[in-house]
Chains A and B, each alone.
Chain A
Amino acid sequence: MRINVNGNDYNITIIGRKVRANGKEIAVVLGENEITIDGKKFYLDYMEDEEPSLMIVNGMAYIVSKSSDIAGSMKQIKAPISGRIIEVLVKDGEDIKKGQLIFVLEAMKMQNHINSPITAKISDLKVQIGQSVKTGEVLATFV
Chain B
Amino acid sequence: MKLLIANRGEIVRRIVKSCSKLNIIPCGVYSEADKDSLYIKFCNDALNIGGFAASDSYLRMDKIVNAAKHLGCDLVHPGYGFLAENAEFSELCKKEGLIFVGPSPGVLNISADKLRAKKVASRVATVLEGKEASNEEEALKVANDIGYPVMLKAAKGGGGRGLRIANSANDISKVFDSSKNESMISFGSDLLFIEKYLEHPRHIEVQILGDNSTIIHLGERECSVQRRHQKLIEETPSPALTKNMRERITDTALAIMKEMKYDNAGTVEFLFKDGSFYFMEVNSRIQVEHPITEEVTGIDIVEQQLNIAAGAGLTIKQDDVKSKGHAIECRINAEHPLSFIPFAGKVKSFIPPPEEMGVRIDSALSSGYEIPSFYDSLIAKLICYGESRIHAIERMRRSLSMFRISGIPSTIPFHVSALNDIRFIEGNYNTSFVDELKPYSSKDGELASAILCQLPRKIKFLENKGYSNEEAWMKSRFSLSNFDNLTNSRWN
B440 within 8 A of A: yes
Q: Are B409 and A104 in contact (CB under 8 A)?
A: no
B409 touches A46 (CB 8 A): yes
Which stretch (B65-73, B262-270, B317-325, B338-346) binds chain A? Answer: B338-346
Contact assessment for B444 and A40 in the assembled complex, using a CB-CB cutoff below 8 Å: yes
Contact of B456 among A18, A47, A56, A58 (CB under 8 A): A47
Contact A59 B448 (CB under 8 A): no
Contact digits for B452-469, partner A, Cβ 8 Å, 1 yes 0 no: 111110001000000000
A111 & B178 in contact (Cβ 8 Å cutoff): yes
Question: With A and B bound together, what is the CA distance between A57 and B456 in angstroms?
Answer: 13
CB distance from B102 to the nearest CB of A (A): 22
| CB < 8 Å neighbour of A81 from B343, B406, B442, B477 | B343
Given A60-B413, A60-B445, A104-B178, A3:B373 Cβ within 8 A: no
B439 lies within 8 A of chain A by Cβ: yes
Contact of A110 among B342, B404, B473 (CB under 8 A): B342
Residue in B161, B439, B447, B473 whose CB lies within 8 Å of A37: B447
Q: Which interface residue of A21, A46, A54 has the most chain B CB atoms within 10 A?
A: A46
| Chain B residues whose C-beta falls within 8 Å of the C-beta of A110 in the assembled complex | 182, 228, 342, 376-377
The interface residues of chain A lying within 8 Å CB-to-CB of B161 are 109
**Complex CA distance for A57 and B212, rounded to whole angstroms:** 52
Q: Is the CB of B344 within 8 A of A108?
A: yes
A48 within 8 A of B: yes
- Residues in A neighbouring B342, C-beta threshold 8 A: 81, 107-108, 110, 112
- Most chain B beta-carbon contacts within 10 A, residue among A26, A54, A115: A54
Contact segment of B9-17, B119-127, B272-280, B482-490:
B482-490
Q: In the complex the two chains form, what is the Cα distance from A103 to B482 in whole Å?
A: 46
Q: Contacts A37-B447, A42-B448, A80-B336 known; A6 to B441 CB distance under 8 Å?
A: yes
Q: How far is it, in angstroms, between the C-alpha of A56 and the C-alpha of B371 when the chains are bound?
A: 19
Question: Is A138 interfacial (CB-CB < 8 Å)?
Answer: no
Q: Could you tell me if A59 and B452 are in contact, using CB atoms closer than 8 angstroms? A: no
Q: Which residue of B lies closest to A47 (CB)?
A: B456
Cα of A73 to Cα of B234 in the assembled complex, Å: 39
Given contacts A58-B401, A87-B178, contact A21 B344 (CB under 8 A): no
Interface 1/0 per residue, A56-89 and B, CB below 8 Å: 1111111010000000000000001111001100
The verdict on A53 contacting chain B, using a C-beta distance below 8 Å, is: yes
Interface size class of A (residues with CB under 8 A): 35 or more
- Contact (Cβ within 8 A) A53 B453: yes
What bracket does the count of chain B residues touching chain A fall in?
Answer: 35 or more
> In the bound complex, do residue B480 and residue A59 qualify as a contact, i.e. CB atoms below 8 Å apart?
no
Q: Are A62 and B441 in contact (CB under 8 A)?
A: yes
Q: Which of A35, A54, A57, A59 has the most CB of B within 10 A?
A: A59
In the complex, the answer to whether A45 meets B406 with C-beta atoms within 8 Å is yes
* B356 sits at the interface (CB 8 A): no
A64 to B339, CA, bound (A): 16
**Inter-subunit contact A15/B484 (CB<8 Å):** yes
> Cα distance A83–B408 when bound, in Å?
17
**In contact, A17 and B373 (Cβ under 8 angstroms):** no
Question: Once bound together, how far apart are the Cα atoms of A122 and B1, in whole Å?
Answer: 62
Cβ of B416 within 8 Å of any chain A Cβ, yes or no, is yes
Inter-subunit contact B451/A14 (CB<8 Å): yes
A118 interfacial contact with B, CB 8 Å: no
Is A19 part of the binding interface, using a Cβ–Cβ cutoff of 8 Å? Answer: yes
Is A55 an interface residue when CB atoms closer than 8 A count as contact? yes
Expressed in whole angstroms, the Cα–Cα distance for A82 and B185 within the complex equals 17
- Determine whether the beta carbon of A59 is less than 8 Å from that of B412: yes
A55 to B451, CA, bound (A): 12
Report A6-25 residues with CB < 8 Å from chain B CB. Answer: 6, 8, 10, 12, 14-19, 21
A44's nearest neighbour on chain B, judged by CB, is B452
| Cα–Cα distance between A114 and B342 once the two chains are bound (Å) | 12
Is B186 engaged at the interface, CB distance under 8 Å to the other chain?
yes
- Binary flags per residue of B58-90, CB closer than 8 Å to A gives 1, else 0: 000000000000000000000000000000000
Partner among A30, A49, A112 whose Cβ is within 8 Å of the Cβ of B341: A112
Contacts of A19 in B (CB 8 A): 451
Give the complex CA separation of A140 and B481 in angstroms.
41
Instruction: Apart from A56-B412, A110-B228, list 15 A-B contacts with CB within 8 A.
Output: A3-B454, A6-B441, A15-B483, A16-B482, A17-B484, A37-B447, A37-B451, A45-B410, A49-B460, A61-B338, A61-B413, A107-B344, A108-B376, A111-B178, A111-B181
Return the 10 tightest CB-CB contacts between A and B, nearest first.
A16-B484, A61-B413, A42-B448, A10-B450, A108-B342, A62-B449, A5-B446, A60-B441, A3-B450, A59-B412
Instruction: List the interface of chain A (C-beta within 8 A of B).
Output: 1, 3, 5-6, 8, 10, 12, 14-19, 21, 26, 28, 30-33, 35, 37, 40, 42-49, 53-62, 64, 80-83, 86-87, 104-112, 114-115, 135
Q: Give me 14 A-to-B residue pairs in the complex whose CB atoms sit less than 8 angstroms apart, sorted by A's number.
A: A5-B450, A12-B450, A14-B454, A30-B455, A40-B444, A59-B400, A59-B416, A60-B445, A61-B414, A62-B449, A81-B342, A81-B373, A104-B178, A108-B374
